[in-house]
């Protein structure tokens, strides 16, 4: 099955059902289908071809949804980039995947012009937002979204791709610092979506609220899965306003709330009894573990709803889920393999380990993605040959153990990636930004425990003797290059760093 | 007693110094959306809320923390004036 067929099938079955509620608009499946067809036809007319990569640098919005499905319908591969990603890193991603077109906010038109200058293969940009109307013609290489859809027909373009073509690249931080694009075929996405829908028991009556960015696979799959099972998606820009989200849940009779530990921690600070949340059928958590105390408080606050603790990584979308009926018995576990897949734990010699033993989690199934875009070395490290010729196993880089009944428990990461607010941050990326600041001699970045964020980014800096840098100077510099979630929350100045015998900075001793 | 102008100025200074790390007034327009422009992130809103309560002595109710009240200097100034019963 192709990913855009999720939308097409639902539009055929229930054309008049509301598919998407976003920014005050309520769009039916018929409308989303017609508008996504217009985007596809517009892209094709502008020269986008089967297999091209097209960037989507937009906040959660109607245009982002239409862009994703329009790109797929044009036979191309979509690449959603976080809307808080700075132009330099955006240009890196677009050059890395050799994108030929980009959807971006109209208010970023100047930045887009700079990005286009540094990404020669980028042919044109589509500017989105209420200020970009049909008449807006910024330049020959930029056009308004409204114009793209106004001039293009709403007929479905002929389908040119098959399910082993790439549906999307999802960029994720690796320990090397540079983001890597995880290649997902249509078949990978369709399988992963079906498996998750199966254990969440989603159906057309479900109304899902998504407050997570579509650049994050967890947020993206809320859209893809909802269109697959023919439900309704309430798409919000972020979870910055938790009370507003609770109000939306009550107004729209939302049944599914996907969250990350930071969101749930924010909700638990509110007086939940003031909102009618009785429609919620389930809550899901992934990206980082929920503290057991928060699990208990969520269970008490939503006794009628199921709470799913889950674990996964972009490289295979989702890996494990804990059936809700097991939660009270083993609150620290993230469960078992998702339906239709298998997992086990291996030691460094490749031996499978039994209950209680700690080793690396290995994943096998049709959700194991294709590897990293044009990065054979990183791909070979994570994805290794399996039992059959075309098969790849995913070595997660995460240490796990299993109990006697076969339920899995996260132990630690093998690398030093920081998980903050549900997002992954590579210390190396933040360090290289710090090194660009004149006066910084050495920099080291670690994650420190934080009640709200899970982990907070902490920067240690050694300055040149004549540099008068303050914490504010360091943060101002970082804010020019880093996404909001990757910003250091603390900066500590040191005169020197602890070192290993080989001279490397000993981060363990900075903690 | 704070005037509307001084409320606006205090908010501007707080945002510039704590979220944009600068004193350059030109970096922030009064109608710039904090969220859309990535100035304040989802957990930053909580810090902003504490600042508003402490600086202006107003009690912010949970359901008043909305983009309509908090998402720009202009909106936040209007909200605080409303809470304090001052003309905007």
Helix A4-13 × helix A217-229 angle, to 10°? 30
CB-closest option in B20, B42, B70 to A239: B42
Q: Which ranges constitute the DSSP H helices of A212-339?
A: 217-229, 242-252, 261-267, 292-301
Binary contact (B42, A240; C-beta < 8 A): yes
Binary contact (A244, B65; C-beta < 8 A): yes
Binary contact (A479, B40; C-beta < 8 A): no
- Count the Cβ atoms, other than its own, within 10 Å of residue B51: 16
Q: Which ranges constitute the DSSP H helices of A74-213?
A: 87-97, 109-118, 145-151, 186-200
Quick one: pLDDT band at residue A175, thresholds 50, 70, 90? Answer: low
Whole-number Å distance between alpha carbons of A147 and A35:
12
> Please, which residues bridge with residue A449 across strands?
A455
CA-only gyration radius of chain A, Å: 23
Residue of chain A whose Cα is closest to the Cα of B47: A240
Quick one: pLDDT band at residue A422, thresholds 50, 70, 90? Answer: confident
Chain A positions touching B42 (Cβ under 8 A) are 238-240, 262, 266, 421
Give A289-296 contacts, CB < 8 A, sequence gap 24+.
Answer: A289/A261, A289/A332, A289/A334, A289/A410, A290/A261, A290/A264, A291/A261, A292/A331, A292/A332, A294/A261, A294/A264, A294/A265, A294/A268, A295/A327, A295/A331, A296/A331
The contacts of residue A454 (CB under 8 Å, 6+ apart) are A261, A262, A288, A419, A420, A421, A422
Tell me the ipTM for this assembly.
0.82
Whole-number Å distance between alpha carbons of A22 and A41:
23
pLDDT tens column, A487-496: 999 999 999 8
pLDDT tens column, A319-331: 999 999 999 999 9
Residue of chain A whose Cα is closest to the Cα of B16: A476
pLDDT tens column, A292-343: 889 999 999 999 999 999 999 999 999 999 999 999 999 999 999 999 999 9
Q: Share the mean pLDDT of chain A.
A: 93
CB-closest option in B20, B36, B45 to A241: B45
Quick one: pLDDT band at residue A55, thresholds 50, 70, 90? Answer: very high
pLDDT of residue A28: 98
Mean pLDDT is lowest, of A222-231, A232-241, A368-377, A499-508, for: A499-508
pLDDT of residue A178: 85
Binary contact (B35, A238; C-beta < 8 A): yes
Binary contact (B66, A244; C-beta < 8 A): yes
Mean pLDDT is lowest, of A153-162, A189-198, A317-326, for: A153-162
CB-closest option in A107, A244, A472 to B21: A472
Q: Which residue has the tokens 């200097």?
A: B73
The contacts of residue A348 (CB under 8 Å, 6+ apart) are A359, A360
Helix B73-84 × helix B4-18 angle, to 10°? 140
- Closest CA of chain A from B24, distance in Å: 12
* Number of Cα atoms under 13 Å in the Cβ half of residue A168: 30
Binary contact (B41, A107; C-beta < 8 A): no
Beta strands A454-463; A440-450: pairing state: antiparallel
pLDDT of residue A342: 97
Has residue B1 got a pLDDT over 60? no
What number is the average pLDDT over the span A404-415?
92
- Closest CA of chain A from B65, distance in Å: 6
Q: How far is CA A209 from CA A228, A231, A311, B50, in A?
A: 15, 11, 20, 27
pLDDT of residue A135: 60
pLDDT tens column, A26-51: 999 999 999 999 999 999 999 999 99
pLDDT of residue A251: 97
- Closest CA of chain B from A245, distance in Å: 9
CB-closest option in A241, A475, A487 to B65: A241
Binary contact (A479, B21; C-beta < 8 A): yes
Per the CB < 8 A criterion, the answer to whether A129 and A62 are in contact is: no
Q: How far is CA A491 from CA A285, A416, A435, B14, in A?
A: 30, 18, 14, 19
Whole-number Å distance between alpha carbons of A85 and A216:
12
- Closest CA of chain A from B59, distance in Å: 14
Binary contact (A240, B21; C-beta < 8 A): no
pLDDT tens column, A363-387: 999 999 999 999 999 999 999 999 9
Based on the number of CB atoms within 10 Å of its own CB, is A247 exposed (0-12), middle (13-18) or buried (19 or more)?
middle
pLDDT tens column, A69-118: 999 999 999 999 999 899 999 999 999 999 999 999 998 888 999 999 99
Mean pLDDT is lowest, of A111-125, A174-188, A255-269, for: A174-188
Has residue A228 got a pLDDT over 90? yes
pLDDT of residue A137: 59
Q: What angle do CA A107, A218, A355 make, to 5 degrees?
A: 155
Q: Share the mean pLDDT of chain B.
A: 88
Domain that holds residue B37: 4-84
DSSP H/E element including A419: strand A418-420
Based on the number of CB atoms within 10 Å of its own CB, is A132 exposed (0-12), middle (13-18) or buried (19 or more)?
buried
**Structure pTM?**
0.91
Whole-number Å distance between alpha carbons of B86 and A401:
60
Q: Is A83 on the interface with B (CB under 8 A)?
A: yes
Binary contact (A107, B62; C-beta < 8 A): no
Mean pLDDT is lowest, of A447-451, A458-462, B41-45, for: B41-45
Chain B positions touching A243 (Cβ under 8 A) are 62-66
Q: What percent of chain A has pLDDT over 70?
A: 98
Q: How far is CA A368 from CA A70, A164, A385, A386, in A?
A: 25, 13, 12, 11
CATH of the domain at B40: 1.10.1200.10
Local structure of A54: helix, strand or coil: strand
> Please, which residues bridge with residue A359 across strands?
A400
pLDDT of residue A37: 98
Residue of chain A whose Cα is closest to the Cα of B43: A240
Binary contact (B42, A271; C-beta < 8 A): no
Domain count of chain B? 1
Q: What angle do CA A75, A76, A79 make, to 5 degrees?
A: 150
Has residue B4 got a pLDDT over 80? no
Q: Look at A289 and B69; give whichever has higher pLDDT.
A: B69
pLDDT of residue A351: 96
């Amino acid at each position: 099955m192709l990913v855009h067929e999720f939308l097409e099938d639902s539009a055929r079955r229930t054309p008049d059902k509301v598919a998407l509620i976003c920014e005050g608009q309520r769009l039916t499946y018929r409308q989303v289908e017609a508008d996504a067809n217009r985007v596809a036809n517009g892209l094709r007319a502008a020269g986008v071809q089967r297999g091209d990569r097209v960037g989507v640098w937009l906040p959660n919005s109607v245009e982002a949804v239409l862009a994703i499905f329009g790109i797929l319908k044009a036979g191309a591969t979509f690449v959603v980039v976080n809307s808080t990603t700075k132009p330099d890193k955006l240009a890196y991603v677009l050059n890395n995947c050799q994108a030929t077109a980009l959807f971006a906010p109209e208010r970023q038109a100047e930045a887009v012009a700079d990005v286009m200058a540094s990404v020669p293969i980028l042919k044109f940009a589509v500017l989105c937002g209420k200020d970009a109307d049909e008449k807006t013609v910024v330049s020959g290489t930029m056009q308004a979204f409204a114009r793209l859809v106004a001039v293009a027909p709403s007929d479905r373009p002929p389908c040119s791709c098959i399910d082993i073509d790439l549906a999307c690249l999802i960029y994720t931080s690796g320990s090397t610092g540079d983001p890597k694009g995880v290649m997902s075929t249509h078949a990978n996405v369709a399988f992963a979506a079906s498996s998750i829908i199966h254990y969440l028991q989603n159906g057309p009556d479900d109304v899902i609220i998504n407050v997570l960015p579509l650049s994050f696979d967890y947020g993206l799959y809320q859209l893809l899965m909802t269109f697959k099972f023919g439900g309704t998606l309430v798409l919000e820009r972020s979870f910055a306003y938790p009370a507003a989200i609770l109000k939306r849940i009550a107004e729209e009779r939302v049944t599914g709330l996907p969250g990350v530990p930071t969101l749930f921690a924010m909700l638990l600070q509110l007086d939940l009894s003031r909102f009618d949340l009785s429609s919620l059928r389930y809550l899901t958590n992934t990206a980082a573990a929920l503290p057991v105390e928060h699990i208990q408080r969520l269970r008490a606050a939503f006794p009628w709803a199921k709470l799913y603790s889950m674990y996964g990584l972009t490289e295979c979308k989702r890996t494990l889920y804990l059936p809700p009926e097991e939660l009270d018995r083993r609150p620290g576990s993230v469960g078992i393999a998702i339906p239709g897949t298998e997992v086990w734990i291996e030691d460094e010699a490749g031996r499978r380990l039994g209950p209680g033993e700690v080793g690396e989690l290995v994943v096998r199934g049709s959700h194991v993605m294709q590897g990293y875009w044009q990065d054979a070395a990183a791909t070979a490290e994570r994805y290794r040959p399996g039992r059959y010729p075309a098969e790849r196993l995913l070595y997660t880089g995460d240490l796990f153990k299993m109990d006697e009944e076969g339920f899995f428990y996260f132990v630690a990461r093998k690398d030093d990636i920081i998980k903050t607010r549900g997002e992954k941050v590579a210390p190396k990326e933040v360090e290289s930004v710090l090194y660009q600041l004149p006066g910084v001699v050495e920099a080291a970045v670690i994650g420190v425990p934080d009640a709200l964020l899970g982990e907070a980014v902490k920067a240690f800096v050694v300055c040149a003797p004549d540099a008068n840098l303050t914490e504010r100077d360091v943060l101002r510099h970082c804010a020019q290059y880093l996404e909001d979630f990757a910003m250091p929350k603390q900066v500590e100045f040191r005169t020197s760093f602890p070192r290993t015998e080989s001279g490397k900075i000993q981060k363990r001793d900075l903690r | 007693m704070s005037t509307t102008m001084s409320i606006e100025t205090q908010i501007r200074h707080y945002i510039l110094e704590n979220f944009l790390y600068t004193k350059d007034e030109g970096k922030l327009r009064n109608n710039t959306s904090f969220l859309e422009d990535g100035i304040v992130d989802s957990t930053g809103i909580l810090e902003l809320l504490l600042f508003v309560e402490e600086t202006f002595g107003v009690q912010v109710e949970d359901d008043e923390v909305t983009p309509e009240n908090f998402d720009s200097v202009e909106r936040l100034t209007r909200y605080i004036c409303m809470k304090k019963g001052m003309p905007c």
